[in-house]
Amino acid sequence: MSVDAKQAPAEPTPLVRMRGISVEFPGVKALQEVDFRLFPGEVHALMGENGAGKSTLIKALTGVYTPAAGVTTLDGREVSFSGPAEAQAAGISTVYQEVNLCPNLTVAENILLGREPRRFGAVDGRATRARAAELLADMGLHIDPGSVLAEHPIAVQQLVAIARAVAVDAKVLILDEPTSSLDQDEVAELFRIMRHLRDRGVAILFVSHFLEQVYEISDRMTVLRNGRLVGEHRTSELSRLDLVSLMIGRELGALAEVERLAGQAGEEASTVPVLEARGVGRKGSVAPFDLRINRGEVVGLAGLLGSGRTELARLLFGADRPDSGQVTVDGRALHLRGPRAAIAAGIAFCSEDRKGEGVVADLSIRDNLILAMQAANGWARPIPRRVKDQLVEKWIKALDIRPANPDALVGKLSGGNQQKVLLARWLVTEPKLLILDEPTRGIDIGAKTQIQKLVAELAQEGMAVVYISAELEEVVRLSHRVVVMKDRAKVAELDQNATVDDIMRLIAHVDERPEAVAA
Amino acid sequence: MTTSATPVKGKSPLALPGRRSVPGRVVPVIATFVLFVLLFGVGTARYDGFLSGQVVANLFIDNAFLIVLAVGMTFVIVTGGIDLSVGAVVALSTMVAAAGLQAGLPAPLVVLLVLAMGSTLGLLMGLVIHYFEIQPFIVTLAGMFLARGLCFVVGVESISIKDPTFRTFATAAIPLSGTVSITWSVVIALAIVAVAVWVLHRTRFGRTAYAVGGNENSAMLMGLPVARVKVGVYVISGLCSAIAGLLFSLYMLSGYGLHAVGMELDAIAAVVIGGTLLSGGAGYVLGSLLGVLVLGVIQTLISFQGTLSSWWTKIAIGTLLLLFIVMQRVFMRRQP
Amino acid sequence: MTSTRPLDRFRASGLLWPLVALLVLLAANAVVRPSFLALRIQDGHLYGSLVDILKNGAPTMLIALGMCLVIATRGIDLSVGAVVAISGAVTCSYIAGAGDPTGAGAAFAGMGIALALCAVLGLWNGFLVAVVGIQPIIATLVLMTAGRGIAMLITDGQIITVRNPAYRTVGAGFLLLPVSILIAVAVFALVALVTRRTALGLLIESVGINPEASRLAGLRARTIRWTVYVFAAICAGVAGLMISSNVSAADANNAGLWIEMDAILAVVIGGTSLAGGRYSLTGTMLGALIIQTLTTTVYSMGIAPEITLVFKAVVVIAVCLLQAPKARAVLLRRTRRRHTPPDPDAEAAGRPSTHTPTSAMVEKVAQP
């Protein structure tokens, strides 16, 4: 499906035009028939929630991935790059979210690596520094070109990366979340440079999760959701609220039962606290916050990516150590030394990074299911085979895990089934508090519904749940209370009557404070 | 030895003002140099005749092959790899050289043959490492087995070198002053150090090697010729091993499959003690040279002592290795 | 998918090719030298080439067992050869210096001290790897370098010979079969029992496959890594006893030289990936046997025994190429598309976009 731009382009022909781009990974369609246009002399924002396909689109453009379908033209000529080097040679430079430079080399080397001035075949260190200083000065930056990159804060490194990208006379500059670690002044500096480049006719593709920034700098935006294009608009013609709803989408129907269950649960939510956090925080991660979670209650955490929602959850589980505040569980103080302490206190945590931090891919469903329980028991007391089989059979059935073969390797399962295995691993330990970080991301709608239903049921049975999701509909539907996160801090706590619009307004609200927290 | 760590602790104050890079990166090398001077000072204080030009010259003479080996290893380690095959390639080189000369081949041809063989082995290992993505450790371990085994295919017994060209070359002394003289091996080793300094520090190839060691993925995204460099460093290491093998055959005047057993460990130790990060991305050729000299001084000290047995060398090397690895670890943790 | 058919299950276990290789080697020997398979009993002792292979392979098997568990946790232990030397050196020095150098008491005390020291060395390796966080290759390189020096320090650079019947039993004694074989098999059985009957095997594999997920699931990842290094060192210690006992002497220079490489090779041939995770003790034992048989074969074919190394090199490369996913892909690629997009996992390093498209229903409501 393709949604064409609403307005006919009065502008010159696009510099970059991608048509019907599809990218597939084994078992996953990351992009489906996406159209994209980029004009010279514009800042074009690429918007979408996590997993919408922004990075994939960029990588399809720069040749990191080869699309399964679709045509890309640059300057009217059809192109297909074999990798970033080739794209760069054609005038497409990319600056990534993580600074992709070499921290062990100097600023000058990083800017000019691979095209250093040479004399008699040798790299001319002095000329390299001089050329780099020239480029930096041209961008209005005062950085010692002879200093080692690692000595600079990330923000400066990011600017160096941009200097490198510009040094090749790029026609297209792709900035993939360059601002996620910059403070306000640094962002202003970056924007100054971006405008400078735009005015020179460079086409800039800009990805950011900070709406204010997007509205400040971009001329036009393309919105993706779930690997599909949902719209291309002039920034001035799209309100923030419309943008957020385009990004997040609204699901209708099919979840009535969940709603009903959640409603029931809501009535029965108790006021007996399971966990209370006071002033818990971690420098550079989440500002200190208070949080109380009651028995049988689902507390939703809403916020855009990078708002601190994941970081908050990790602190509650001891996956990262808080450096301030106290946590009590069932009234007893809990020292969060690490996951084991949290688990012993009855807390369970499903990470958003299912593959990296969740399932153990090369182990069977059976082994994954009992892993947490076994870890708590210690190695010397193996769970008897009979008990194991009962547990595994019970949970495979209860959660409808497919294939229902306990010996199947978890790595071969679909995302939804992996998520269920992960859930079951914790449910086996009968936790008091279950923290779910994006349990429904990247899984099909059937599994999504099943998992939400399960959460509602668990709460009804008295379990406390912290539920994080990028999909606000989900959060609102399931939660008794919603905690809104923004800029790595808790900004509001809403009761059960909160609507998606309330939350969106809080998230989209133009903030007077600096929009990013220093890393 | 604890004193060697002190300058490193002073790293931050040195590096902060003006954010000049040079001191920070050179500190490990300075530490090694200070260590070398200290060890030499200990020798001078305790033994008569330690402080003499010839003792210094002998350091180079007795370790010429190790210097060359460490130079090659520096390239590999700077990219974040490792080459365990160097000792075995040294042995194979001595064997091929000795057997070739014995068979009556002219000396220059033998030299070319050995150099070609070393480079080819390095090339093969590099290709397997890069294109099949198998850990360098395992590939070069296999290379080590292969080279050692090939030694014995050439011959099981030690073959002495009787070729007059080799013999003259090996024994010829180059007087530096009235009392001090060095051998051609030293000249060759130092020439190789000079070339290596140039290649690693002043060419695009060398700079790319650092980039690959710093962050291979970034280097790839920056459009650098990662494949060429990653394979190239193993070719260089193989070539250096072959040269070291030739120097070793000059030193021993024989070829033998059990020559240079465990020399790869000495080479790695010298490189690490010379301040090169095992994780890649930082290090100097001159640091490795200093590392070899430190190992040499320890050996000289132990031989001067007389009562201390040679195995103390191994223990001392192990201890130094540990010291420098832990230092690197602390060093790296402090970085953001 | 596991099949119920025994043959398929066997194939899936990864033991098929090592076993085939071993059988081919044995068959080749039998063809060249028909007496190869012959066994005879003399004085209640079993003799024959097969017994020799087992006996000579016993130290490698032991060390490979320890190495296997270390590798399963994504580690490697290069210091086992040095530990072998130290173990023999300590025992022989103790026995030689004891009041009664022929008594069983001296032998047992010496071996006890040696194994205790080995355990300490294992603790040291584990400390560097699990606590200080140094790469395993480098951390164990320290002891690999210094260890032989320590062994020579203990023996004062001499080859210490002892005449102690009790000690000699460990490496050269017979209980129908050579005692060293019995020890190796016993340790194998013990490890297999402990890792498979308790949850230890599962926890080790889990740590090796995904350390971070394991930590978040509440495993004591650090303790587990530490433990396997201690175990590997103790295995190496026992192997050191066997080697030194067999010749009734401690040779600090040559005892266990290159045995760490053989052990790693045995583990790899046995189907355990150097990337950690799933391991096979049986495969490891087969691997050690293959190496030993290879050595014997080369020997019996009249080729200089040192040339075995060439064959070993070929085997390592072949096995690694078969195991490496990239190499497999390259070797198996026939008519596939030029550029298959990399696995989405590659992207998961940043913000993963491993996204399954939702159903068409979402699609319909895309534009409110």
Is C199–A53 a contact, with Cβ atoms under 8 angstroms apart? no
| Mean pLDDT comparison of B162-166, B188-192, B317-321, C43-47, highest-scoring range | B188-192
Label the pairing between strands C174-175 and C160-161: unpaired
Residue C252 has a CB neighbour count (10 Å cut-off) of: 29
How many helices and strands (H and E) does chain C possess?
16, 6
3-state helix, strand, coil in chain C (%, to 5): 70, 5, 25
Please state, in angstroms and rounded to a whole number, the distance separating the CA atoms of residues B119 and B97.
Answer: 15
Domains and CATH numbers, chain A: 16-248 (3.40.50.300), 251-346+432-510 (3.40.50.300), 352-430 (no CATH)
Would you state the pLDDT for residue C333? 58
The answer on pLDDT for C91 being more than 50 is: yes
Q: What is the mean pLDDT of residues A140-148?
A: 86
Full domain range(s) for residue C159: 14-20+43-210+217-325
With a pLDDT cut of 90, the percent of chain C lying above it is: 48
Two structure tokens written together for B107: 């000396």
The answer on pLDDT for B143 being more than 70 is: yes
Would you state the pLDDT for residue C337? 42
Q: What is the pLDDT of residues C22-68, one digit of tens each?
A: 898 898 888 888 888 888 888 888 888 899 999 999 999 999 999 99
Would you state the pLDDT for residue B137? 83
Mutation site for C-interface testing, chosen from B140, B311, B328 by largest number of C Cβ within 10 Å: B311
CB-CB contact of C265 with C291 (8 Å)? yes
Asked if the structure places residue C359 within a domain, the reply is: no
CB-CB contact of B188 with B247 (8 Å)? yes
Nearest CA in chain A to C362: A251
Is A102–B21 a contact, with Cβ atoms under 8 angstroms apart? no
Domain assignments of chain B as residue spans, ordered by start: 52-260
Is B20–A122 a contact, with Cβ atoms under 8 angstroms apart? no
Q: What is the mean pLDDT of residues B299-319?
A: 84
Q: CB under 8 Å to C34, separation ≥6 — which residues?
A: none
Two structure tokens written together for B230: 């990653």
CB-CB contact of C269 with C18 (8 Å)? yes
Q: What is the pLDDT of residues B262-285, one digit of tens each?
A: 899 899 999 999 988 888 888 999
Q: Does B196 or C337 have the greater pLDDT score?
A: B196
Mean of the per-residue pLDDT values of chain A:
84
Q: What is the mean pLDDT of residues C94-120?
A: 93
Q: What is the pLDDT of residues A174-214, one digit of tens each?
A: 998 777 666 667 788 888 888 988 998 899 999 887 777 88
Residues of C in contact with A68 (CB under 8 A): 341
Determine which of A193-202, B6-15, B62-71, C191-200 has the lowest per-residue pLDDT on average. Answer: B6-15
Of B151, B257, B315, the CB nearest to C153: B315
Residue A137 has a CB neighbour count (10 Å cut-off) of: 12
Is A359–C347 a contact, with Cβ atoms under 8 angstroms apart? no
Would you state the pLDDT for residue C2? 43
Q: Provide the number of structural domains found in chain C.
A: 1
Residue A473 has a CB neighbour count (10 Å cut-off) of: 15
Would you state the pLDDT for residue A5? 43
Nearest CA in chain C to A366: C202
With a pLDDT cut of 70, the percent of chain A lying above it is: 88
Q: How confident is the model at residue B24 (pLDDT cuts 50, 70, 90)?
A: low
Would you state the pLDDT for residue A118? 83
Q: How confident is the model at residue A167 (pLDDT cuts 50, 70, 90)?
A: confident
Asked if the structure places residue C348 within a domain, the reply is: no
How many helices and strands (H and E) does chain A possess?
17, 22
Please state, in angstroms and rounded to a whole number, the distance separating the CA atoms of residues A370 and A375.
Answer: 8
Judged by a CB distance cut-off of 8 A, whether residue B2 touches chain A is no
> What is the per-residue burial (b if ≥16 Cβ within 10 Å, else e) of C322-360?
ebbeebeeeeeeeeeeeeebeebeebeeebbbbbbbbee
Q: How confident is the model at residue A468 (pLDDT cuts 50, 70, 90)?
A: very high
Alpha-carbon torsion (A458, A462, A466, A471), positive or negative: positive
A-C contacts (CB, under 8 Å): 192
Asked if the structure places residue C290 within a domain, the reply is: yes
Is C153–B309 a contact, with Cβ atoms under 8 angstroms apart? yes
Q: How confident is the model at residue C319 (pLDDT cuts 50, 70, 90)?
A: confident
Would you state the pLDDT for residue C345? 39
SS3 B21: coil
Two structure tokens written together for B87: 């000792």
The answer on pLDDT for A379 being more than 90 is: no
Asked if the structure places residue C74 within a domain, the reply is: yes
**CB < 8 Å & 24+ apart, contacts of C284-288:** C284/C61, C284/C64, C284/C65, C284/C67, C284/C68, C285/C61, C285/C64, C285/C65, C285/C188, C286/C15, C286/C18, C286/C19, C286/C22, C287/C18, C287/C64, C288/C57, C288/C60, C288/C61, C288/C64, C288/C262, C288/C263
Of B24, B214, B223, the CB nearest to A103: B214
Mean of the per-residue pLDDT values of chain C:
83
Q: CB under 8 Å to A236, separation ≥6 — which residues?
A: none
Give the H/E segment covering residue A517.
none
Two structure tokens written together for B139: 């590939």
Query: What distances in angstroms separate CA C121 from CA C64, C235, C260, one per listed residue?
Result: 17, 12, 15
Is B145–C261 a contact, with Cβ atoms under 8 angstroms apart? yes
Would you state the pLDDT for residue C80? 96
Q: CB under 8 Å to A247, separation ≥6 — which residues?
A: A47, A48, A49, A52, A223, A225
The answer on pLDDT for A519 being more than 60 is: no
Is C368–A250 a contact, with Cβ atoms under 8 angstroms apart? yes
Please state, in angstroms and rounded to a whole number, the distance separating the CA atoms of residues A302 and A277.
Answer: 18
Residue B188 main-chain phi, psi, to 5 deg: -60, -45
Q: What is the mean pLDDT of residues C273-289?
A: 90
Q: How confident is the model at residue B94 (pLDDT cuts 50, 70, 90)?
A: very high
Nearest CA in chain B to A102: B214
Burial class of residue A482 in the structure, from the number of CB atoms within 10 Å of its CB (0-12 exposed, 13-18 middle, 19+ buried): buried
Please state, in angstroms and rounded to a whole number, the distance separating the CA atoms of residues B164 and B33.
Answer: 39
Nearest to residue A18, comparing CAs of A2, A30, A41? A2
Q: What is the mean pLDDT of residues A384-394?
A: 92
End-to-end CA distance of chain B: 28
Q: Does A412 or A343 have the greater pLDDT score?
A: A343
Judged by a CB distance cut-off of 8 A, whether residue A116 touches chain B is yes
SS3 B106: coil
Nearest to residue B50, comparing CAs of B301, B314, B322, B276? B301
**CB < 8 Å & 24+ apart, contacts of A325-328:** A325/A277, A325/A278, A325/A279, A325/A280, A325/A281, A325/A288, A326/A277, A326/A278, A326/A279, A326/A280, A327/A275, A327/A276, A327/A277, A327/A278, A327/A280, A328/A275, A328/A276
Would you state the pLDDT for residue B189? 96
CB-CB contact of C285 with C270 (8 Å)? yes
Q: How confident is the model at residue A259 (pLDDT cuts 50, 70, 90)?
A: low
The answer on pLDDT for A300 being more than 90 is: yes
Q: How confident is the model at residue C99 (pLDDT cuts 50, 70, 90)?
A: confident
Two structure tokens written together for B295: 């190992």
Would you state the pLDDT for residue A227? 85
Residues of C in contact with B144 (CB under 8 A): 261, 313
CATH of the domain at C87: 1.10.3470
Is A445–C200 a contact, with Cβ atoms under 8 angstroms apart? no
Q: What is the mean pLDDT of residues A37-58?
A: 86
Would you state the pLDDT for residue A2? 43
Please state, in angstroms and rounded to a whole number, the distance separating the CA atoms of residues C273 and C33.
Answer: 35
Residues of A in contact with C215 (CB under 8 A): 338-339
Amino acid code (one letter) for A486: K
Read out DSSP for A400-463? Answer: T-SS--TTSBGGGS-HHHHHHHHHHHHHTT--SEEEEESTTTTS-HHHHHHHHHHHHHHHHTT-
Q: What is the mean pLDDT of residues A504-508?
A: 79
The answer on pLDDT for A390 being more than 70 is: yes
Determine which of A253-262, A272-281, B41-50, B247-256 has the lowest per-residue pLDDT on average. Answer: A253-262
Would you state the pLDDT for residue B17? 35
CB-CB contact of A426 with A450 (8 Å)? no
Q: What is the mean pLDDT of residues B138-151?
A: 90
Please state, in angstroms and rounded to a whole number, the distance separating the CA atoms of residues A455 and A257.
Answer: 12
Angle B5-B11-B13 from CA coordinates, rounded to 5°: 135
Residue A206 main-chain phi, psi, to 5 deg: -125, 130
Would you state the pLDDT for residue C63? 97
Query: What distances in angstroms separate CA C162 from CA C158, C165, C243, one per listed residue?
Result: 12, 9, 13
SS (H, E, C) A95-155: ECCCCCCCCCCEHHHHHHCCCCCEECCEECHHHHHHHHHHHHHHCCCCCCCCCEHHHCCHH
Please state, in angstroms and rounded to a whole number, the distance separating the CA atoms of residues A324 and A331.
Answer: 18
What is the 8-class DSSP label of residue A482?
E
CB-CB contact of B73 with B237 (8 Å)? yes
Q: Does A65 or A25 have the greater pLDDT score?
A: A65
CB-CB contact of B314 with B263 (8 Å)? no
ipTM: 0.79
Would you state the pLDDT for residue B18? 38
Mutation site for C-interface testing, chosen from A25, A99, A100, A422 by largest number of C Cβ within 10 Å: A25
Would you state the pLDDT for residue A512? 42
CB-CB contact of C365 with A251 (8 Å)? yes
End-to-end CA distance of chain A: 39
Q: What is the pLDDT of residues A205-247, one digit of tens each?
A: 998 877 778 898 999 999 998 888 998 999 999 887 788 778 7
Judged by a CB distance cut-off of 8 A, whether residue A25 touches chain C is yes
Residues of C in contact with B329 (CB under 8 A): 132-134
